């Protein structure tokens, strides 16, 4: 199968997206020979909860830098296409590009690098708001003055229960479920495609490399997601 079925055949499109959808915006993936962990393994300290608060500076360098780069580049044609067709987006990404493209109800299961949360009090808000409240280079909480960190889910931390519940609800409500820029094989995202299929959705993987997408998927569309989705959205 080399193209997506007609959009008009479906009432509720849900798209699960991963790092691959943002590569065209100049953002790299994490795994693989060209992934960030391979090229710069020291940045892995920015991804583990056990190093907080000692890795705060590195967290802002890695996650804050990623968000800044993403906003400068802007959303890709694939991000924009999903917004045009009004797909419900569930993303593993933290770059904020779906919001920028117009998918304002995006479910961010790994959090957002564009937001910050306080190390002391319950404040959680836009990172730019924290930056304005800071008297030093590191963002501080506008409520209590404590240091804040990017509001992303690190290794060793639990996903936000509300975001996960919303993602599961979206998956079982879909009649077309797309996996874009992600294998969908890493939990908890790996649970969503099987849930969608079990609930009756047509489940399709879009991947530039031909292969077996796994038993959760009915089909694979082989091609660049940027072109595939742009063509599909018209």
Catalytic residue list? 110
Cα angle 11, 198, 109 (rounded to 5 degrees) comes to 75
The residue with tokens 């008297």 is: 135
225 vs 13: CA distance, rounded Å: 16
CB 103 within 8 A of CB 89: yes
What is the number of other CB atoms lying within 10 angstroms of the CB of residue 74? 12
Closest CA to 94 of 157, 33, 137, 40: 157
| Residues near 88 by beta carbon (within 8 Å), at least 6 away in sequence | 12, 13, 14, 15, 105, 107, 170, 173, 174
């Amino acid at each position: 199968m080399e193209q997506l079925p007609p959009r008009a055949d479906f009432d509720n499109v849900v798209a699960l997206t991963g790092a691959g959808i943002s590569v065209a915006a100049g953002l790299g993936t994490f795994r693989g020979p060209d992934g960030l962990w391979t090229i710069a393994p020291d940045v892995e300290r920015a991804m583990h909860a056990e190093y907080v608060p000692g890795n705060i500076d590195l967290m802002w360098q890695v996650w804050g830098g990623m968000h800044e780069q993403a906003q400068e580049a802007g959303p890709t044609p694939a991000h924009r296409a999903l917004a045009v067709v009004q797909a419900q987006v569930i993303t593993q990404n933290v770059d904020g590009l779906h919001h920028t493209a117009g998918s304002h109800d995006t479910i961010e299961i790994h959090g957002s690098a564009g937001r910050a949360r306080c190390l002391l009090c319950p404040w959680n808000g836009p990172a730019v708001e924290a930056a304005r409240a800071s008297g030093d280079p590191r963002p501080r909480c506008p409520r209590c003055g404590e240091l804040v960190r990017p509001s992303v889910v690190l290794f060793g931390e639990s996903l936000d229960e509300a975001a996960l519940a919303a993602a599961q609800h979206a998956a079982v409500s879909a009649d077309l479920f797309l996996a874009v820029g992600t294998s969908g094989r890493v939990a908890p995202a790996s649970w969503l495609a099987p849930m969608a299929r079990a609930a009756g959705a047509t489940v399709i993987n879009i991947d530039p490399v031909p292969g077996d997408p796994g038993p959760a998927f009915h089909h694979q569309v082989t091609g660049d997601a940027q072109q595939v989705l742009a063509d599909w959205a018209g």
